[in-house]
Structure 1
Amino acid sequence: MRDRIVSRAALFDQLDRANRITEMSAPAGSGKTTLLRSWVETSDLAERAAQVSGEARDPRRFWPTVVAALRGTAAGSALVRPLTTAPDLDGWAVVEQLLSDLGPLPERLWLIIDDLHELAGTQTLHQLQLLMMRAPAELRFVLATRHDMRLGLHRLRLDGELTEIRASQLRFTREESGALLDAAGVTLSENAADQLHRRTEGWAAGLRLAALSLAGHPDPERFAAEFSGSERTVADYLLAEVLDRQPEPIRQLLLRTSVLERVNGELADLLTASSENEQILLDLENAGAFVIAADPQRSWFRYHRLFADLLQHELRRTDSARLPALHSTAADWYAANGYVIEAVRHAQAAQCWEQAVRLLSDHWVDLYLDGRIGTAQELLAGFPASAATADAELSVLMAVRDLDHGSLLKAERRLALAVDQSTTVPADRRTHFEAMCTVLRLRIARRRGNLPTVAEQAQRLLTVVETADAQRLGVGDGLQALALISLGSAEISALRIGGANRHLEQGIDLARRIGRPYLELAGLVHEAQLVVASSYTAGADLSLRAIELAKRHGWNDKPVTAVAHTVHAAALVAQGHTTEAEFWINQARRTLRPQENPVAAFKLHYVHARIQLARGEHVAALATLDEVEHLSRALGTPHVLRPMARAHMLHALVRLDETARVEQLLADMDADERDGTPARTAQAALRLAQANPRAARDLLPSDADDPRAGTRPLWRVAAFLLDALACDALGRTQDASDALERAFDAAAPDNLLLPFLLHPAPALLKRHAEARTAHPRLLGEVLSRLQADEDATQAATAPGASESVSVSVPTSAHLREPLSGSEMRVLRYLPTNLSGPEIAAELSLSVNTVRTHMRHVYEKLGAHSRFEAVELARSYGLVAPAVGLR
């Protein structure tokens, strides 16, 4: 493999622009020699660069080599006098001769000295320092060393004459790693190449050794996934170049501390039964011996992944009997110093199961309140199955694992087993055990939608927070915030709005004050669900705040974030923005699984059905609503949205002309549900479809304050709109106009378009546009959307329909030319935080195609950036209005 094939343009450029002296300091195998050789070749410096090695430590060998290399250059051949090797050769005299010879140097000349560390502690190094300090400006030095040398270069650093290149700069980037593998003729999938790059951390020698091993390997994908420091070629290299060069005390330090993911001086002292290990670790890091500082203060250290693999393999080979004691000592130290996760892991590695259970049990609530459920799951996987059958606290933790894996029944059975074992729990841990059970019961009840149990367990938690155990473990305030937020969520479903609002505000405020952002996120999501019932704009604002909070903390894949996505989608579809709503529903769908969280899945499917209804996809919507009905039966308490979902099912059936089925479903409803606003609105739509407008009017409110209109704005708008349709069918033109104006009055504060899409009345709306209306913009937007839907339907059903069909936009929008259907689909994604490649994946298009569409969108809108395109699209009503963060 010719290494020069791999271009390292950034480093080549840095060397080209380097100051008088360049020091390249990095550990063995970092690619220093290869980089310098390829730089000389690439930059065409063969006639202007003299290259020597520091391996010739003796001045009598080193200086003749330097003189010969300088004479081998174009400029040096004319200036530098030859030097004869002699037993009494004086290095100081040679330096003076070189300074004299090179004084009139007319052009730049490079002296490259590799393996400079070999000169440490020699007279030769002092002589070289003299040459560097007094050499003419045109003579440039490039020094490659495994560790920093005491060369007195600080003055040059202050004068700006020193260029330094460190190990971090020499690491191969992902792209350079790929180029190296290509040069070796190795073909790997993107995933395998990524894994190999992560394992080697861009270490040049590691990549080259891997490439050598991969060439001709029968299963390169598996090899790349399993590549480690114990792989023979890597192990031989690291043993010879790093480990075997260390004195025995340092070898023991490296081997014994390799059981740790990170190490500091105090912990290293404990594991080696020696002292002053912190300074040794600092020296090793300075020397670049694959020891890396893990924090800015350089108090914690870690080992390069491949080096750590080698050390662990060597420790198991030479001293495996010591492993349990090392892990046990580490577990005790981590526990005493508050590093719970590490303490549990090492207790498990030492098979100290009781210690591991107590540590995890004491801190499980803390992990849960901080949203670190994945970490807790990983730790639980480290216990053998036999341990859970004999320990009540571990049984509760295993029940939590079952719940998080989506097995509600298994979690309930495991919790019952833990309660049966509770007599074995020590008296001083009984209160803590009960608190764990209460939190678990609360979570199960929330997943089941069992509101009475949620409220009961939340109240019980409020009493637990005063206990000494809660205070001792520092989770009292966290449990109180959890209880308040849980109470608020239960009260939302029970329609106790005042109590829900009060408890949620208290819980969110407390979570924020005590620094529990995951609890704050849960509270914001529940508050968004509460607010969206009366104001979709405010609900969209609040859900977006929750989404942004989740994004800041890396919680995009949490179920609670999926609920925030669902709420945001609900607000967007209510305002008629179906494409953006579908984007957020798809985000939620990636995380939520119905068997894990039937309540959240119920809401997700219901919002998805409303998107389908708004698009006129009534068959698909009916199938989704059937799933909603199925999920509702799995809930412990009837969901507050169920009557609305059933009303939308009736609406879909009316649009599909299945009136007989509608009548049967209405007859099967209990009287309270049938008399509620959603069902009465659906019945009115049925009567209109049956050409009985008078019966439809009898079912609908005639005034905005009529209690039958309910408190949810969508249903009020729908009721007024259906009343307008009924009046129009009866020939009562003025009453129809008045009812339609009331519909717009109710829709305007939240810009609600959904009712006008579910009950399209283009003829009535066009007549209303000719009369005086207080809402011309909203009316124009509705007419534009209905026209766009009609055009899209005609285009989709026309013979030879293609992607080039243009989409109608509001007449007030002065686009340079209409957007195509594909351009509109791309435009709908621009307000999101997705990159171009991510949008391409969503639309199953190539990245180049998406970029082409984006460029056309910018041109047609007259925009110069993505932000400007979104703002202009919003002004034209093509995408949802911006939602401000409050």
Structure 2
Amino acid sequence: MVGRDEHVRRLCDAEGARLILLHAPSGFGKTVVMAQILDEMRRRGCACGWLTLDRADNDASRLVTGLQAAIDRLGATPGTPAESETGNDGTAMVELLGRVADLTEPFALFLDDFETLHEDSVLTLIARLIQTLPAHGRLIVGSRKIPDLPMARLRATGEMLELDMRALSFTREETGAFLASARGVDLNEADQTRLHSKTEGWPVALRLASIVLSEARDQSGFVRDFSGSDRLVSDFLAENILDTQDAEVREFLLRTSILRALEPQLCEALVPGCDGAALLERLAAANVLLNRIDGTAPVYRFHSLFAAYLRARLASQHPEELPRLHTAAMEWYLANDRPVPAIDHGIEAQAIDRVLALVGEVGQACLEQGRIRLLTRWFDMLPDDRVADEPRLCLMKAWAYCFTRGPREAAAVLDANRLEAEAGEVGAEALSIRTMIRAMSDDFRGAAEIGREALDRAACSSRYSRTVLANCMANAFSVLGAPDAALENLDEARAELGGPEDAFNTMYSESVQGLIDLQENRFREAKARFRLAASARRSDDRRRFNGNAWAGVPLACVRYEEDAQDEAEHLLQVFLPIVRDVSLPDHLILSHVTLSRIAFWHGQVDHAFRYLAELEQVGQRRRLDRVVAGARLERTRLYLRQGNLSAARHQIDRARNNALWEEVRDLRLPANDLDTRDITEARVLLAEGRASEALDILDAESAAAEPRHRRRRLLVLDFLRAAALLRLGETGRARETAGNALRIAAREGYRRLILDEGEPVADAIRAWAGPALSGDLPRRDPVFAEWLQALSDALGPGHAAGSTEVSRHAPLDPLTKKELQILRLLSEGYSNAAMAEKLFVSDSTVRTHLRNINSKLDTASRTQAVAAARQLGILG
């Protein structure tokens, strides 16, 4: 059972709420939430009574008898059941209401399965019961449909609270908690997110999915293919929803299931003779897995699993109807000047000629607005030979594939249709696409070379093409270390922008500018750029970034840098599938590395390594050497955080690729600004106690970075140099270097950049921050002092927290085998929950073992326990 603590707390804390209504279709956990409310109210000392209703309770005398029994649980004065046995329902009702009104202590009466009541007399009784409730009494109702009760006044006066299917749906976190508790279900974060999206957090669908997942060999494959047509789900939907409707409603549901949005007039076009508005209102009131879409018009949509189930049943029972229904929908949308949904239905109706003409009319606008995944979906469903007859459509297809499928598939479109050989606008635009393909393939020198030719021919291409080309060249020149040329091209791109509708290029320009700012150590300015790129289109996460990860991944990295790890993880999970499809090397590395670091800091060490394994696998499959090396460099840092020096040395040696790093040395690549083989080698040498060798590397790297103005790299190098100097006993130089770097870092608001460097850098910072914070720094520079204090708190006291190193002796009471297992997992960074899962014990058992370990080792924290164990040789 997943705890719905937020709902329970809000409902139990609500003052003046006479009626609490939970209404949603079957399987949304209404009874579970009500039970949790019951437990919480009892814990608070509130008297509670519960009555589960059924159809027989439409008999008023029976309902009164049940209510009397429930009220007996509330501590009321015993009633006189003989009166109700005489058949005098009126007298029994009056007595019931009187007993409720006379209750003096806080109480709550729970009525579950309220949808079974439909008789006017019993509904009137409940309405009078609500009116009779004293201020300290509440009625909590669970129902599959909205009850026929006088609720308007209660809503207006704030005396009613309700949870509908949206509120009762699991959040992404609750979905994760539920799946974690399901035996045998071990989904990665991406699959959890995908399953949550498909089920829309519908608890029963997740429960049914978990049953299959617990037996599935290929859990990722099951999640990918999961839909409303899965047997367990379809059986549930048939038994609990569709088959409970009358014939008219069933036919309406089946025939309108082809629609993404149910509008009354559109429904009437598909189901002639029906009253669309009345039927939709009726279905919404009955909670038939129908959601109203936000807005003033009465527009609805089916729950995605219900829609998939209905469409499968329609195709099975009435296949001959499908072309007619899709054609009717296409004609209605065209008549209402809405070509995008018309194209969707035209494709389904196989009206290819009309669809090709429509795509030609709206495709350019889709590119400019960033609706690129929409274009890709259309081209995937259109015949290749028909698209090949239209060069303009081929260009649109190449652009769309470039930004959603990656450079290889875009190149295949160009090559198959020989677009670069075309004269005029088509050939010029094809050359711009080829420039983008080279840049996305990590060939920035090739991109710059082809791009110069494309720029010469750009005047005759479309405005969209000219703008993308200018942005692409800005990115290429930035990577090649020519910032002036990059900014010049960015200015040209911005001059071409066509206003708010040119969302894609607005996002692209601001993202490139942000990456340049980041390299120049203008973190706050870069952050503003990425936020501006993110707001190029307002809607849900995917639409907000125009179906593209260019802005999403950098913004997620910015939020991670600020330690907003939950938001960063959410953004990255949204865009990870896109990143993998497109295979932008820098975005691939940054997204996986950041997710790995988040997982490690949450104590999910296995997940941290899994992200890096996935990154390495993608790099090997796509033959991206820099991506493979990026996974190994980050795995090196992960092992350093665990204190596993031999494994770290093995990984850094595996990242040895002289040709690659010689190529990367002079390039300003976002993913390798702070992580190169030489910089990571210096980190390993520091951990191995070879500070002099590390300092030689760091000094050489600083000398190379200085003339190239690689200011963010210089900042990190200074922190590492301070750590090396401290290890060499040059305390004065170490403190001076650390102090200068800290002031720069504080000015820009960095945090994770420092915390992720581990103990060597942390020691150097403590050496400077301790005296500074205990001196007059808080008075002279309170803003800097506040930032420094927060950073110091996050770093912790370190091994030198005491004035002298504590001399330790072997514990008198040796650690047990289980405690040694706990200690080893603890040293590797696992959280309590992760340790409990690995050892098949409860969280409380883990906490007990940790208390015993601290007691035996005479330590006060997890960090101290690990340090003491290493000092004693208990841990290697």
What is the aligned partner in structure 1 of residue 96 from structure 2?
Answer: 98
Q: CA deviation at 1:290?
A: 0.5
Read off the aligned partner of 2:505 and give its amino acid letter: L
Q: Secondary structure at the match of 2:417?
A: helix
1:493-537 Cα distance to aligned partner (Å, 9 max, x none): 9999999867643531442745434323544577789999xx957
2:459 to 462, 472, 479: 462
> Contact between 1:108 and 1:138, CA under 8 Å: does it hold in 2?
yes
Q: Secondary structure at the match of 2:306?
A: helix
Residue 21 (structure 2) pairs with residue 35 (structure 1):
no
> Contact between 2:22 and 2:143, CA under 8 Å: does it hold in 1?
yes
> Contact between 1:184 and 1:215, CA under 8 Å: does it hold in 2?
yes
2:131 to 126, 130, 133: 133
> Contact between 2:725 and 2:731, CA under 8 Å: does it hold in 1?
no
1:8 to 4, 9, 12: 4
> Contact between 2:229 and 2:308, CA under 8 Å: does it hold in 1?
yes
Residue 18 (structure 2) pairs with residue 20 (structure 1):
yes
What is the aligned partner in structure 2 of residue 323 from structure 1?
Answer: 322
Q: Distance in 2 between matches of 1:71 and 1:409?
A: 69
1:393-448 Cα distance to aligned partner (Å, 9 max, x none): 554455446755555798378457355998xxxxxxx9986775465466468767
1:508 to 474, 478, 494: 494
What is the aligned partner in structure 2 of residue 55 from structure 1?
Answer: 55
What is the aligned partner in structure 1 of residue 73 from structure 2?
Answer: 73
Read off the aligned partner of 1:462 and give its amino acid letter: A
Read off the aligned partner of 1:123 and give its amino acid letter: S
Structure 1 834/420 Cα, relative in aligned 2: closer, same or farther at 3 Å? closer
Q: Secondary structure at the match of 2:734?
A: coil
Q: Distance in 2 between matches of 1:190 and 1:204?
A: 19
> Contact between 1:265 and 1:277, CA under 8 Å: does it hold in 2?
yes
1:221-278 Cα distance to aligned partner (Å, 9 max, x none): 6555544333333323322332223333332232122223333233322222345424
What is the aligned partner in structure 2 of residue 206 from structure 1?
Answer: 205
Read off the aligned partner of 2:141 and give its amino acid letter: L
Q: CA deviation at 1:160?
A: 3.6
> Contact between 1:110 and 1:141, CA under 8 Å: does it hold in 2?
yes
> Contact between 1:371 and 1:518, CA under 8 Å: does it hold in 2?
yes
What is the aligned partner in structure 1 of residue 112 from structure 2?
Answer: 114
Q: Distance in 1 between matches of 2:209 and 2:588?
A: 43
Question: Number of residue pairs matched?
Answer: 670
Structure 1 126/381 Cα, relative in aligned 2: closer, same or farther at 3 Å? same
What is the aligned partner in structure 2 of residue 587 from structure 1?
Answer: 590
Structure 1 806/70 Cα, relative in aligned 2: closer, same or farther at 3 Å? farther
CA RMSD of aligned residues (A): 6.2
What is the aligned partner in structure 2 of residue 761 from structure 1?
Answer: none
1:822-845 Cα distance to aligned partner (Å, 9 max, x none): xx9xx9999558699xx87x98x9
> Contact between 1:81 and 1:101, CA under 8 Å: does it hold in 2?
no
Q: CA deviation at 1:291?
A: 0.5
Structure 1 71/813 Cα, relative in aligned 2: closer, same or farther at 3 Å? closer
Structure 1 370/178 Cα, relative in aligned 2: closer, same or farther at 3 Å? closer
Q: Secondary structure at the match of 2:318?
A: helix
What is the aligned partner in structure 2 of residue 277 from structure 1?
Answer: 276
Read off the aligned partner of 2:170 and give its amino acid letter: F
Structure 1 264/834 Cα, relative in aligned 2: closer, same or farther at 3 Å? farther
Read off the aligned partner of 1:289 and give its amino acid letter: V
Structure 1 73/852 Cα, relative in aligned 2: closer, same or farther at 3 Å? farther
Query: Pairwise mapping of residues 530-679 of structure 1 onto structure 2 (< 5 A)?
Result: 536=520, 546-552=529-535, 553-554=544-545, 558=549, 587=590, 626-627=659-660
Structure 1 594/559 Cα, relative in aligned 2: closer, same or farther at 3 Å? farther
What is the aligned partner in structure 2 of residue 659 from structure 1?
Answer: none
2:163 to 157, 162, 165: 165
2:186 to 188, 192, 197: 188
What is the aligned partner in structure 2 of residue 809 from structure 1?
Answer: 734
> Contact between 2:101 and 2:132, CA under 8 Å: does it hold in 1?
no
> Contact between 2:508 and 2:550, CA under 8 Å: does it hold in 1?
no
Structure 1 406/56 Cα, relative in aligned 2: closer, same or farther at 3 Å? closer
Read off the aligned partner of 1:237 and give its amino acid letter: F
1:748-784 Cα distance to aligned partner (Å, 9 max, x none): xx98996999xxxxxxxxxxxxxxxxxxxxxxxx8x9
Return the TM-score normalized by structure 2.
0.60
Structure 1 81/512 Cα, relative in aligned 2: closer, same or farther at 3 Å? same
Overall identity of the aligned pairs, in %: 20
> Contact between 1:334 and 1:342, CA under 8 Å: does it hold in 2?
yes
Q: CA deviation at 1:317?
A: 1.3
Q: Which runs of 5+ in 2 are unaligned?
A: 536-543, 558-584, 594-614, 635-651, 669-677, 680-699, 796-876
Structure 1 178/482 Cα, relative in aligned 2: closer, same or farther at 3 Å? closer
What is the aligned partner in structure 2 of residue 417 from structure 1?
Answer: 417
> Contact between 1:174 and 1:202, CA under 8 Å: does it hold in 2?
yes
Read off the aligned partner of 2:283 and give its amino acid letter: L
What is the aligned partner in structure 1 of residue 684 from structure 2?
Answer: none
What is the aligned partner in structure 1 of residue 798 from structure 2?
Answer: none
Q: CA deviation at 1:10?
A: 3.5
Residue 247 (structure 2) pairs with residue 248 (structure 1):
yes
Structure 1 9/640 Cα, relative in aligned 2: closer, same or farther at 3 Å? closer
Return the TM-score normalized by structure 1.
0.59
Q: Distance in 1 between matches of 2:785 and 2:383?
A: 57
Q: Distance in 2 between matches of 1:11 and 1:875?
A: 35
What is the aligned partner in structure 2 of residue 660 from structure 1?
Answer: none
1:31-89 Cα distance to aligned partner (Å, 9 max, x none): 22343345445654997414141523544443443354246426246245444445xx3
> Contact between 2:424 and 2:460, CA under 8 Å: does it hold in 1?
no
Q: Distance in 1 between matches of 2:40 and 2:500?
A: 59
Q: CA deviation at 1:315?
A: 0.7
Q: CA deviation at 1:321?
A: 1.9
Q: Distance in 2 between matches of 1:220 and 1:497?
A: 47
1:8-45 Cα distance to aligned partner (Å, 9 max, x none): 33444445445333222222332223433454456549
Q: Distance in 2 between matches of 1:133 and 1:333?
A: 48
What is the aligned partner in structure 2 of residue 288 from structure 1?
Answer: 287
Q: Secondary structure at the match of 1:147?
A: coil
1:784-816 Cα distance to aligned partner (Å, 9 max, x none): 986755556x69xxxxxxxxx99963349789x
Structure 1 77/67 Cα, relative in aligned 2: closer, same or farther at 3 Å? farther
Residue 365 (structure 2) pairs with residue 366 (structure 1):
yes
> Contact between 1:458 and 1:486, CA under 8 Å: does it hold in 2?
no
> Contact between 1:263 and 1:300, CA under 8 Å: does it hold in 2?
yes
Q: Secondary structure at the match of 1:285?
A: helix
Structure 1 41/224 Cα, relative in aligned 2: closer, same or farther at 3 Å? farther
What is the aligned partner in structure 2 of residue 308 from structure 1?
Answer: 307
Q: Secondary structure at the match of 2:381?
A: coil
Structure 1 536/314 Cα, relative in aligned 2: closer, same or farther at 3 Å? closer
Read off the aligned partner of 1:262 and give its amino acid letter: A
Q: Secondary structure at the match of 1:30?
A: coil
Tell which deviates more after alignment, 413-422 or 44-53. 413-422
Larger Rg: 1
Structure 1 531/261 Cα, relative in aligned 2: closer, same or farther at 3 Å? closer
Structure 1 787/33 Cα, relative in aligned 2: closer, same or farther at 3 Å? closer
Q: Secondary structure at the match of 2:229?
A: coil
Read off the aligned partner of 1:382 and give its amino acid letter: M
> Contact between 2:61 and 2:84, CA under 8 Å: does it hold in 1?
no
Q: Distance in 2 between matches of 1:336 and 1:11?
A: 45
Read off the aligned partner of 1:511 and give its amino acid letter: L
Q: Distance in 2 between matches of 1:296 and 1:791?
A: 62
Q: CA deviation at 1:584?
A: 9.9
Q: Distance in 2 between matches of 1:105 and 1:752?
A: 69
Residue 504 (structure 2) pairs with residue 518 (structure 1):
yes
Read off the aligned partner of 1:8 and give its amino acid letter: R
Q: Distance in 2 between matches of 1:334 and 1:853?
A: 66
